[in-house]
Structure 1
């Protein structure tokens, strides 16, 4: 653009390095979400479902960030470069998807808090959300590929950190992305403000809910009163001449019963009178709404906070660019290159926070397999482990033990 003050080579290099490093972090997080949610039943729960859907959108924006300055550098003259056009399409298609999913999550929170929807009812809306979120992005993204003019050139062209809507079409960034994103953010904020009022009114009973590190604040605490009656079961050997007398037999067969209570199990029938449930959070959660729905609302709010981290700095940069045409602010552009590629990373942080037990189980499973594989590598001669419930040692170790014993006795 005529009159634009460009960034120095070192500043551009800093933007590119930051963009690609953060994109790599996001891509690692994306693979973690996709693999664990798909193949582990512990992660497959309602509160992770929309994060899983949003992660597919993060793939496209992360790939665009990994391409980085390779897109603008591929442009020669006024001819459109395929790599630049692809990168511009990916940015327009997937950059705002997280905001659209936050909008859908806000709708679900409204339905949960004010319409009493359950998680099963929310699941029935997933198809419509998928269609709306990706269609809303796809229609303008694919249309811009075919738009150009002699004076302005193609819509997709070199920007500062990647190929996107070129500066000659700058107003389209506002209309077709920033305005839509902020409309979604404002709507979500209004819903969370109303939900926050409900939570504030119940704050005395929802302390666990307000702590994001408390994965399951509504875990029921069950006090079980067990009345044990016992009797001796006598064994009387049959004999042709057996006579029943009032004397107490000498032999009896004792028996025992083990009673186990699972705090996470949901009873299939009404509890008997002696069994009491304590914990006001559980009472409120089950009497007014589904506990899973409350947890879903908390995840949606965390997702919304991650969205603000991404879009507030970049929006400030966009407003500055509009107010100061031709001036490129390195600090604001650097922050944008820092937060945009981290969308997938923030989402996986929310995913891990809300799946702490599943992550611990996954880690335990991995360490057990690693230990078993390590023991197997020693072959059949390695007998240092537990075999058949007994501790085994090699014969030479037994010899050393005897020597140590003899030395200690001398």
Structure 2
């Protein structure tokens, strides 16, 4: 355990400080690579251009400024609390990590609106400028105002916290109120939204299974009647020819063949109930009341799984910093170098994890879409 001097910073030796600087800058470089990957992939591939991808790309520009902050690393504290570099780093540190959390919450809001309000592509796109304005204003104004707060007793609001400049230890209560409370409030709201989405999807799966079971029962009864009529008419037991119709499961993640549900807009058309209505006319009115939208497997991954993985990555990033802040608030003399390293590295990897999720989940969706398209183009063989 390390002791904190009166200023509230960890008392690191030269070797520990160098290790901290190197690791945070390496992690920042990886984040920069993740940001570039997101932007480049979005520009070069049409597959990565649905409304959820667009939010991720917009957030990537915010991540780029966050990377600028973490790349400065210990350079801010070494320049001194009153230096322009430290104050600039403190401003970036206050604004852009919170913006990252808000963008992740915006993705969860989109998922909620898709599942509960049946928002289409255009409706989601109309929300983008509102997200941009709202998130920018909500994060910029507090971060900018704090630049001008300074007292003789506590010094400037932004100051050294060992690994970079942020709200100084002497202003720790304000750091909790203005930094950690907004972050964890957004995280809790996001958790609630995903829980509601999960409950709704589970309910829809049960409804779809029930409707499918009823449809299969009616089809079996109809086939039996047809066989009886044919047997009575022709004295034979020839098996009638039937087109197999299988409704897809909106939460399925299997590779089983599914009927095509995309329009010419490609992956930008996340949900459609036309297929269900056209193939189940007797049950369409009931289904429309309880299933306002019907995602395909591809859309489920792009519009729900990707934001969910973004949130999980975000949650992992904030565990160590929050643990460190709570521990130091409860026991002002507490500091752990391994925990400090963890905070520095995880806090510098936000853009990297975003890039990983964007590419890995997006590529899996692209492969499944390609397989689905190939299946849809195959000629149907009849017995």
TM (normalized to structure 2)? 0.71
Using a 3 Å threshold, how does the CA distance of structure 1 residues 7 and 351 change in structure 2: closer, same or farther?
A: same
Using a 3 Å threshold, how does the CA distance of structure 1 residues 44 and 140 change in structure 2: closer, same or farther?
A: same
Matched, 1:338 2:372: no
- Structure-to-structure mapping, 1:131-146, within 5 angstroms: 131-146=133-148
User: Deviation at 1:14?
Assistant: 2.0
Paired with 1:94 and 1:340, the residues of 2 have a C-alpha distance of: 11
Tell me, what secondary structure is at the counterpart of 1:145?
helix
Q: Is the 8 A contact 2:74 2:164 kept in 1?
A: yes
Report the counterpart of residue 15 of structure 1 in structure 2: 20
Report the counterpart of residue 158 of structure 1 in structure 2: 160
Report the counterpart of residue 29 of structure 1 in structure 2: 34
Report the counterpart of residue 6 of structure 2 in structure 1: 2
Using a 3 Å threshold, how does the CA distance of structure 1 residues 25 and 328 change in structure 2: closer, same or farther?
A: same
Report the counterpart of residue 201 of structure 2 in structure 1: 199
Matched, 1:291 2:295: yes
Q: Is the 8 A contact 2:108 2:307 kept in 1?
A: yes
Tell me, what secondary structure is at the counterpart of 1:125?
helix
Paired with 1:208 and 1:180, the residues of 2 have a C-alpha distance of: 34
User: Deviation at 1:2?
Assistant: 1.3
Tell me, what secondary structure is at the counterpart of 1:291?
coil
Q: Is the 8 A contact 1:103 1:187 kept in 2?
A: yes
Tell me, what secondary structure is at the counterpart of 1:182?
helix
Paired with 2:309 and 2:28, the residues of 1 have a C-alpha distance of: 21
Q: Is the 8 A contact 2:250 2:294 kept in 1?
A: no
Could you tell me which of 125, 128, 131 is aligned with 1:129? 131
Higher helix proportion = 2
Aligned residue pair count: 302
Tell me, what secondary structure is at the counterpart of 2:159?
strand
Report the counterpart of residue 318 of structure 1 in structure 2: 325
Paired with 2:96 and 2:329, the residues of 1 have a C-alpha distance of: 23
Q: Is the 8 A contact 2:180 2:322 kept in 1?
A: yes
CA deviations 1:93-113 (Å, max 9, x no partner) are 111111101221222222122
Matched, 1:303 2:341: no
Larger-gyration structure (1/2)? 1
Structure 1: 5+ residue stretches without partners: 223-261, 278-283, 361-410
Q: Is the 8 A contact 2:31 2:352 kept in 1?
A: yes
Using a 3 Å threshold, how does the CA distance of structure 1 residues 288 and 132 change in structure 2: closer, same or farther?
A: same
CA deviations 1:214-247 (Å, max 9, x no partner) are 8xx797436xxxxxxxxxxxxxxxxxxxxxxxxx
- Structure-to-structure mapping, 1:155-194, within 5 angstroms: 155-194=157-196
Structure 2: 5+ residue stretches without partners: 210-247, 281-286, 368-383
- Structure-to-structure mapping, 1:6-405, within 5 angstroms: 6-75=11-80, 80-202=82-204, 209=251, 211=253, 220-221=258-259, 288-289=292-293, 291=295, 294=300, 295-356=302-363
Report the counterpart of residue 222 of structure 2 in structure 1: none
Using a 3 Å threshold, how does the CA distance of structure 1 residues 187 and 355 change in structure 2: closer, same or farther?
A: same
User: Deviation at 1:47?
Assistant: 2.7
Paired with 1:81 and 1:109, the residues of 2 have a C-alpha distance of: 43
Using a 3 Å threshold, how does the CA distance of structure 1 residues 169 and 123 change in structure 2: closer, same or farther?
A: same
User: Deviation at 1:357?
Assistant: 6.3
Report the counterpart of residue 243 of structure 2 in structure 1: none
CA deviations 1:303-355 (Å, max 9, x no partner) are 11111011112111110110110222212211111211111011111111232
Paired with 1:308 and 1:6, the residues of 2 have a C-alpha distance of: 29
User: Deviation at 1:60?
Assistant: 1.2
Tell me, what secondary structure is at the counterpart of 1:157?
strand
Using a 3 Å threshold, how does the CA distance of structure 1 residues 116 and 85 change in structure 2: closer, same or farther?
A: same
Using a 3 Å threshold, how does the CA distance of structure 1 residues 344 and 210 change in structure 2: closer, same or farther?
A: farther
TM (normalized to structure 1)? 0.66
